[in-house]
Amino acid sequence: MPLKKKKITIADITALKKDFASKGLNTVCESAKCPNIGECFKKKTATFLILGKNCTRACKFCAVEKHKPEQPDPNEPAKIADAIKKLGISYAVITSVTRDDLQDHGAKHFADTIYEIKKILPNAKVEVLTPDFSGKKELIDIVLNAKPDVFSHNIETVSSLYEKIRTGANYKRSLEVLAYAKNKGFKVKTGIMLGLGETEKEIIEVIEDVKKTNTDILTIGQYLSPSKEHYPIVKEYSEEEFTKIRDIALSCGIKNVVCGRYVRSSYAAENR
């Protein structure tokens, strides 16, 4: 069965897109062509994408642009905090492109965004979905010191596919990032996509590896190729298969598992 989701009418999302654009703000909902964008924008919620639109890595599954990165906007943290306040968002999700070109890989910008949100909305919850910061613990600490309510970093796929589709990333390093944040006492989250050519055995292996990091939340969704130029969908999983995989993850001891075709790491994050 084709993977299609009922679309919300353009009128439901155009105003919010225009509002973000007028403020110079980016969302991963738009940049990554998320299938849930209409639903989320209609509810006036979004996952904000900081540090520009252009990524320094070239993962073959991702729709985010791979051109020369822009200079970070020093006013972006305050703009995002203001937008969140005006939208009435009580649970904010902040992510970014990967910025290997910056000395701190964008860690301070993450921290500044958390600080700005908490300054004007002290009761708001903030979840950050970060890149791996090349595994540098001192950079991870910059983000953690700003006290996000949830620290998230996506594993994305199984170990064997990293070299093929995750340029510049390292499977073991990503696991170490999760374990480090958890050992610091934070609520930790990660996500994987299915349909890239992984085997059932490999799915179980990545679930077991995530469990070893003591990660609190695991999201598992279907990979949807953003275009013909991106990595193709190798397999479309049925809802029954997703239910089976969810049960495997729960049996491994991961307490919170969200699994389904349209599940994305930031989708309905406030409910996790």
> In this structure, is residue 162 part of a structural domain?
no
Question: Does any domain span residue 94?
Answer: yes
Largest distance between two CA atoms of the chain: 47
**Residue 98 within a domain:** yes
Decide if 230 is inside a domain: no
Query: pLDDT tens across 227-266, in order?
Result: 888 899 999 999 999 999 999 999 999 999 999 998 887 7
Percentages (nearest 5) of helix, strand, coil residues in the chain: 40, 15, 45
CA angle centred on 248, ends 39 and 256, rounded to 5°: 50
Q: What is the pLDDT of residue 3?
A: 47
**Residue 22's domain spans which residues?**
1-152
- Residue 79 counted as domain residue: yes
pTM of the model as a whole: 0.87
How many domains does the structure of the chain reveal? Answer: 1
CA separation (Å) from 218 to 111, 209, 246? 24, 12, 9
Predicted pLDDT at 32: 47
Tell me what pLDDT residue 207 has.
98
> Counting beta carbons within 10 angstroms of the beta carbon of residue 19, is it exposed (0 to 12), middle (13 to 18) or buried (19 or more)?
middle
Give dist(CA 97, CA 120) in Å, integer.
25
Q: Where are the beta strands (DSSP E) in the chain?
A: 26-27, 47-50, 91-96, 125-129, 150-152, 188-194, 217-222, 256-259
- Residue 167 inside a domain? The answer is no
* Distance, C-alpha 136 to centroid of its chain: 19
Residue 195 lies in a domain: no
Report the alpha-carbon distance of residue 272 to residue 267 in Å, rounded. 10
10 Rama class: left (phi>0) / alpha (psi -120 to 50) / beta: alpha
Q: What is the CATH number of the domain that holds 11?
A: 3.40.50
Which tens digits make up the pLDDT trace of 84-123? Answer: 888 888 888 899 988 999 999 999 999 999 999 999 999 9
> CA torsion 56→160→223→182, rounded to 10°?
-70
Residue 75 lies in a domain: yes
